[in-house]
Chain A
């Protein structure tokens, strides 16, 4: 009956729940790939939609079939109780129903991703799942929803417009972040000279995304579990990451609860002991006297060589060189970072404080909103009346901006899909 619920027109209706169950039905296994490969590839196809939408998908192999939202299966000719016969090898390779099931024509030569000839099961599955979620055929170069199959180019992904199409149906990806930071490192270019490079990371609970500012999206295949990319930091998430980088120091610290860790870039793991002989994890109160714990978040400002620790409605400015709180601190966040527009201020309990090298600005994140801190040079030059470190709303007209309007497609996936 669910098939006939509501209007059935593409692009206007969608599932009303955000966690959807799927199953490759037992009598619908393909004869061409191992069952494990089939499930893995289909799981990856769901994960790819989950990476660009607020939807989560979970494979359900136990519930009674009527509780499974999306059923998938392979068949030939007349198949799986379906009224639409398949036509044999060539031409039609699959079909799908809105809010419903997906059928693959097992007379086609389906192959695993990037295995040369044959029809990529991954690409076909992503296309058909797009239909089930409510997307029609879309005639645009690069769209996965084009009706005809295009031989698989390596590294196939869901492009920008298809992302916007699915977000048009299900909304943007929103959510709080534990910390956001630019990880800076020295590398040697192909000419042997030392260059400074950075990458932007968003962390939430036990997983993280690398954000590619250049392409306005997260790295393909993210999020990844923390322990995969950052060895030794708490696997359930951190409160803050701070990179102290100046003439004398180059140290990355992760904070969680009352402790902190120092990260060893070269060996890509936390240090157990640092060059000064300190054992890790260390108490925050030892390494940063005067700073309370746990903290809400923190960032290091290269312009004044201070670490800004945020807790509740206070900010603790720590002078790294003096290894002590700067005089007069702690102070109210509203005093150090005053609102430019009256009342437009996060107040306290900041989720993340982030100095962005892309924007050359500091941002304060709270829930799904962010504020930009008045820059020392450009902003004050343009508008001298702006208070130092004032919190700018969105280009002065509307209140603070939504995070998903500046950093795009930072979407969760179901915990069961993290490993895919």
Chain B
């Protein structure tokens, strides 16, 4: 169990190995942008299963040797083995930094930040917020389209046509003043 001493577990001690690695610099920011499809859309569905375990089923839950990984608790951000990993990190080629900047701008735009293209504090804070692991942009193998995760992908019309019914009857001589009792779940 995670160690704690207070009754309400408020002093829960989380081993540092279980801490997600903070995003502090361009490299970790680049991994973040890559992981969530801002640099190149992620083929998310293909990534669900580790082929060695096939379709997940509690009857054939991965054997003991696979459980070792849980102990690692390694928090490498490398979700996807990006094929353009190159080892000459220190000499980024111009197209790569261009890709990084436009990815950064896209992230800043959808996150409601000012679109500076700079890895500024506000962007850093937004990247370190708790979030869902599903990529924001992913491909679909059938058509290789990039599916942005915006409402336009759903073709949703904004609900502007609705009249706002009030509960007081429209009939002027009516004596009703309809007020709903407090609605709680």
Contacts from A to B (Cβ < 8 Å): 1, 3-4, 7-12, 25-27, 31, 65-66, 71, 75-98, 100-101, 105, 107-109, 117, 119, 124, 127-128, 131, 135-140, 145, 147-149, 155, 157, 160-161, 164-165, 168-169, 184, 195-199, 210, 212-214, 216, 219-221, 357-360, 377
Contact = CB atoms under 8 A, between A and B. Distances in A.
21 contacts: A7-B143, A11-B153, A77-B73, A77-B74, A78-B72, A84-B47, A87-B20, A91-B128, A92-B132, A93-B132, A107-B14, A124-B132, A149-B129, A161-B158, A164-B157, A197-B176, A199-B181, A214-B165, A357-B178, A358-B167, A360-B174
B21 A4 contact: no
Given A83-B48, A107-B18, A168-B154, A77 B165 contact: no
B70 A147 contact: no
- Secondary structure class of chain B's binding surface, majority of residues: loop
* Residue from A71, A85, A219 having most chain B Cβ neighbours under 10 A: A85
B128 A357 contact: no
B130 A119 contact: yes
Interface of B: 1-2, 10, 12, 14, 17-23, 36, 44-45, 47-50, 53, 55-59, 61-62, 66, 69-77, 79, 110-112, 126, 128-134, 136, 138, 140-143, 145, 147-151, 153-159, 162, 164-167, 169-171, 174-181, 183-185
B132 A147 contact: yes
B164 A214 contact: yes
B151 A161 contact: yes
Contacts of B1: 31
B153 A82 contact: no
Given A1-B55, A138-B151, A82 B49 contact: yes
Contacts of B72: 77-78
Given A86-B133, A138-B150, A147-B132, 4 more contacts: A4-B45, A71-B56, A168-B154, A360-B170
A34 B119 CA distance: 41
* The 3 A-B residue pairs with the shortest CB-CB distance in the complex, in nearest-first order: A95-B133, A78-B69, A136-B149
Contacts, number: 259
Contacts of B150: 136, 138-139
Contacts of A107: 14, 18, 20, 73
Contacts of B167: 198, 213-214, 357-358
A82 B48 contact: yes
B80 to A, nearest CB: 9
Contacts of B171: 360, 377
B162 to A, nearest CB: 5
A81 B17 CA distance: 21
A95 B14 contact: no
Contacts of A128: 132, 134
Contacts of B14: 88-89, 107
A184 B176 contact: yes
Nearest to A93: B130
Which of A81, A101, A220, A221 counts the most B-chain CB atoms under 10 A from its CB?
A81
A137 B149 contact: yes
A24 B135 CA distance: 23
A165 B152 CA distance: 10
